[in-house]
Chains A and B, each alone.
Chain A
Amino acid sequence: GAVVSQHPSWVICKSGTSVKIECRSLDFQATTMFWYRQFPKQSLMLMATSNEGSKATYEQGVEKDKFLINHASLTLSTLTVTSAHPEDSSFYICSAPIPLGQSWSSYNSPLHFGNGTRLTVT
């Protein structure tokens, strides 16, 4: 079964509103999570690293005031797209690694992805 849950799977919002996307690790604690964005017919682009208890680290070119990341607990990271515009419409996906030092043999791999969120801004 899934070890990383992402919610919602899709959302439609009006221009100017904010949208929050949640990423949860289900049965392990994730001190770090990663957020990606995917445009149509393109690959996944790393946006930021979410760090539990500290500020997120953003990749070059990603506006931190636009894409607010909060990693308030060891199992939850949220991405808030603020004042959304149609150009923010995209597929957003998170990932969470099994913590270093913890066995991941029962998980098939040490890194797990959510199922993604399709955001449409009208």
Chain B
Amino acid sequence: SQELEQSPQSLIVQEGKNLTINCTSSKTLYGLYWYKQKYGEGLIFLMMLQKGGEEKSHEKITAKLDEKKQQSSLHITASQPSHAGIYLCGADLTSGTYKYIFGTGTRLKVLA
């Protein structure tokens, strides 16, 4: 089974709608990253969360880390077609080695 599960696997929303993507770990999280990607292209760094309860925002994207629940969520407010892509969470499950594994990915499509 996957150590890092994302939900939903895919999402289609109308432009302007809010959405949330979840990333749940089966192990303790020692840092979590959110990335955006288009398949076959590089990763676009969104946010890094390191402490339980930490919340960060950038433009219309907010990410939170719930350490106790071993979970992170990514929330997009007023989605736009430019938000479309694959969202990946990556986590360090081995305490500071930066040996990151990635979640299963969430494919987002935003309809104009």
Residues 97-112 of B, flagged 1 when their CB comes within 8 A of A and 0 if not, give: 1111111110100000
Complex interface: chain B residues within 8 A of A36 (CB): 102
Docked-complex contact A100 and B96, CB < 8 angstroms: yes
Complex interface: chain B residues within 8 A of A41 (CB): 39, 107
Interface size class for chain B?
A: 20 to 34
Q: Given A42-B105, A109-B33, A109-B48, A115–B42 Cβ distance below 8 Å?
A: yes
Complex interface: chain A residues within 8 A of B98 (CB): 32, 34, 95, 97, 110-111
A31–B96 alpha-carbon span in the complex (Å): 14
Docked-complex contact B39 and A91, CB < 8 angstroms: yes
Residues 41-64 of A, flagged 1 when their CB comes within 8 A of B and 0 if not, give: 111111001000000000000000
Residues 70-111 of A, flagged 1 when their CB comes within 8 A of B and 0 if not, give: 000000000000000000000101010100100000001111
Q: B residues engaging A (CB < 8 A)?
A: 33, 39-43, 45, 48, 88, 90, 96-105, 107
List 12 A–B pairs whose Cβ atoms lie within 8 Å, in order of A's numbering: A32-B98, A34-B98, A40-B39, A45-B102, A91-B39, A95-B100, A97-B98, A109-B48, A111-B33, A111-B100, A113-B45, A114-B42
